[in-house]
Structure 1
């Protein structure tokens, strides 16, 4: 069985279980799962069916957040090409760039910055920027890349005002 079939069957199974348990679900949740697991065919099917690439789950997460967290560059490219907003804020106040920084995905961080992600967006209640977080997480290559594109620490942003 191909990965596509396995993923498709898994999504159908998850949908069935959620419906049987009376949980609320939506296509956004299922596309989010496909993005998380890197299944471009399933993500493309949902996009082709008219699903908004910026659709959020109940927790406020988009498929782009999920793909960024996992470092799924092919999914990120697909979502961005179909209109996903790289500055969409999730339920914690994070944008997809923050997810990629959190996991140290240098290539994905670069891709998101090139697509217009705000390198100085504040990470919700923590008050950190992507640069702050990359330093805390000890990702020097990510820190260098963010700095190269104008990223600042929160203290630098405050001092420049």
Structure 2
């Protein structure tokens, strides 16, 4: 299998996002880099960003990052954020239409991963937020 070549901008953008470097990230975005470019590991800047930094997520999303792109394991960024319990970043993703019902390669929803990691039962936990968001999404379809 031929490995996909990473775009140089994908590596730079992913590095800035992973470090939580908003200044570098903004400078790269102003150069009109492909915000959905993959790094050498096949992941986008949104997928490798510092998860506890909703401002990085907001900057990437407002510049066209796709919150529903999956990596090789079928994980979208919402899976990682839900599993780690970063409610502020989760809210930002949902504001930009991240799919709460997106499955990974094993059929897990973000809600399943949040529950497996114990983010349940308390005020402001990610499972309560995901359930409420999922219910709202279902009602929108009716």
Gaps of 5+ in 1: 1-23, 152-161
Rg larger for: 1
Q: Distance in 2 between matches of 1:55 and 1:25?
A: 6
**Number of matched residues?**
126
Q: Distance in 1 between matches of 2:97 and 2:108?
A: 19
Which residue does 1:139 correspond to in 2?
119
The 8 Å contact of residues 101 and 109 in structure 1, kept in 2 or not, is answered as yes
Structure 1's consecutive aligned runs of 4 or more residues displaced over 3 angstroms after TM superposition are none
Q: Distance in 2 between matches of 1:33 and 1:58?
A: 11
Matches within 5 A, 1:31-42: 31-42=13-24
Q: Distance in 1 between matches of 2:109 and 2:25?
A: 29
Which residue does 1:88 correspond to in 2?
69
Q: TM-score, normalised by structure 1?
A: 0.73
Q: Distance in 2 between matches of 1:59 and 1:123?
A: 18
Q: TM-score, normalised by structure 2?
A: 0.82
Gaps of 5+ in 2: 1-5, 136-142
The answer to which structure, 1 or 2, has the higher relative contact order (CA under 8 A, 6+ apart) is: 2
Higher helix share: 1
